[in-house]
Amino acid sequence: SQQGEEDPQALSIQEGENATMNCSYKTSINNLQWYRQNSGRGLVHLILIRSNEREKHSGRLRVTLDTSKKSSSLLITASRAADTASYFCATGDYGGSQGNLIFGKGTKLSVKP
Amino acid sequence: DAGVIQSPRHEVTEMGQEVTLRCKPISGHDYLFWYRQTMMRGLELLIYFNNNVPIDDSGMPEDRFSAKMPNASFSTLKIQPSEPRDSAVYFCASSLRGRNTEAFFGQGTRLTVV
């Protein structure tokens, strides 16, 4: 089944810098979602981008989607220590089962104050 | 709504014992998912339900695992008998329309089998 793969596995930056995480997937998708997980907590939805969209913004988050390259990126601008978390992309196969929301292994982001 | 509620938050059990994890989804959500998270394998989809009916259980690792959803507000994931390799964090999530809408996750149950 489909699975997104995030890159890099880990990222360490200083507060105020931008953080970019990438996600690659294998087959056609309906949409792609990004989630955040703070240590010891459940995942929290950040943003959903549909296959016919190329870019989406939400506050300090910017997500791009390139269906020709089967990849997406999540940019966090002006990072804060509170952004320290793991970030996951999730996809569902186009035409596949409606419930198959498959997650990658995530990027662990550390923002140093 | 209080969100997706899972219980217990932590469970420590001995190998061979039966373990039951519980989940209350958000009211009105038609889809319920069970995931397992480990360092080695990441977040794995075990099974999901649509309108209380199990749709895809291909992620359930073994026959020792079973899941039920007797009504729209309650689901269980049972492991019988439990083994040390079942140690993981188990998440329940719910959504309005499956993969096309955001999933809301519970806080998870950290299971340790000794």
User: What does the pLDDT read at residue A5?
Assistant: 82
Task: Let me know: does B93 contact B111? Beta carbons within 8 Å.
Answer: no
Task: Give me the percent of chain B exceeding a pLDDT of 70.
Answer: 99
Please state whether beta strands B10-13 and B109-113 pair in parallel, antiparallel, or not at all (unpaired): parallel
Pick from B64, B65, B93, B112: nearest CA to A43: B93
Whole-number pLDDT of residue A93: 63
Residue B103's pLDDT band (boundaries 50, 70, 90)? very high
Q: Cβ–Cβ of A42/B33 closer than 8 Å?
A: no
Distance, in Å, from the CA atom of B88 to the CA atom of B12, rounded to the nearest integer, reads 11
Locus of tokens 């977040």: B43
What pLDDT, in 10s, does the model give residues B50-89? Answer: 999 999 899 998 899 999 999 999 999 999 999 999 999 9
Contact flag B103-A102 (C-beta cutoff 8 Å) = no
Inter-chain touch B45–A100, beta carbons under 8 Å: yes
Give the model's confidence band at A95: pLDDT under 50 very low, under 70 low, under 90 confident, else very high: low
Does A26 have pLDDT greater than 90? Answer: no
- Cβ <8 Å between B99 and A31: yes
Note the pLDDT of residue B99. 73
Give the right CATH number for A5-112 from 3.40.50.720, 1.10.760.10, 2.60.40.10, 2.120.10.30: 2.60.40.10
Residue A96 has pLDDT above 70, yes or no: no
Q: Do A8 and A95 meet the contact criterion of CB atoms below 8 Å apart? A: no
Domain-wise residue ranges, chain A: 5-112
Place of tokens 């104050």: A113
Half-sphere exposure in the Cβ direction for A88 (13 Å, CA)? 21
Q: Are A111 and A83 in contact (CB under 8 A)?
A: yes
Mutation test of the interface with chain B: which of A43, A61, A108, choosing the one with the most B Cβ atoms within 10 A? A43
Yes or no: say if B109 and B90 are a contact pair by the CB < 8 Å rule: yes
Question: Is the Cβ of A45 closer than 8 Å to some Cβ of chain B?
Answer: yes
C-alpha distances out from residue A98 to A45, A74, A76, A91, B91, Å: 18, 24, 29, 11, 19
Average per-residue pLDDT for chain A? 90
Average pLDDT rounded to a whole number, residues A89-94: 78
Q: Closest Cα of chain B to A28: distance in Å?
A: 14
Instruction: Say if B35 is an interface residue toward chain A (CB within 8 Å).
Output: yes
